[in-house]
Amino acid sequence: MEFMTNMPILLASGSPRRQELLRNLGIQFDIMPSNVEEVVELVDEDFADYVQKLAVKKAAAVSEMHKEALIIAADTIVVFDGEVYPKPTSKKQAESFLRKFSGNTHSVFTGVSILGKGISKVFSVETKVTFKELDDQLIRAYVDSGDPMDKAGGYGIQTAGALLVEKIDGDYLNVVGLPISKLVETLREEGIILVKEAE
């Protein structure tokens, strides 16, 4: 299945995972990463609102420079026991994250902002991820692979990080970094993309 777009789209993200997810649908877009500081106030542990505000901040920064385009921005966080787990800054921190997730269930929230051309939509999606009981050997081997270091929470479910996961409840692609189903639904509702008919 492929889609046609009736306006230029900019993805405000340097994430190769988000780019690949959009490309797989045949959606035409250009890339303009947002370099704004990813900091907004977290109020009353409302993580859904938090990621939405981050996504809006990213979209607004790019929209200021590209008013002719529709901007899609997203932000993903991993939350466990009331705390946000960002991209780890060291192998030691990555190992610490994974030990805390071991045998437990955490949440992955992605906020998405669609902004420009008179359109302003924002939403978030939550997926619950349950990890297996992890042994130290597996944790160290995974961290030594380097895979966790550029990923929120210190793992990638689409790579070898899948070996750590027992089950998920919700949208798998949301954990990868972009809830494609909800995004496409919203873009279609707004008339931004159309399903390309087979010739």
The residues assigned a catalytic role are 75
> Please, how many CA atoms are within 13 Å of residue 21, restricted to the half-sphere of its CB?
23
CA torsion angle for 63, 68, 70, 71 (degrees, to 10)? Answer: -30
Asked if residue 154 lies in contact with residue 134, where contact means CB atoms within 8 angstroms, the answer is no
Contacts 24+ apart (CB under 8 A), 62-68: 62/10, 62/12, 62/32, 62/34, 63/115, 63/116, 65/32, 66/10, 66/32, 66/116, 67/116, 68/8
User: Which two tokens mark 162?
Assistant: 């899948």
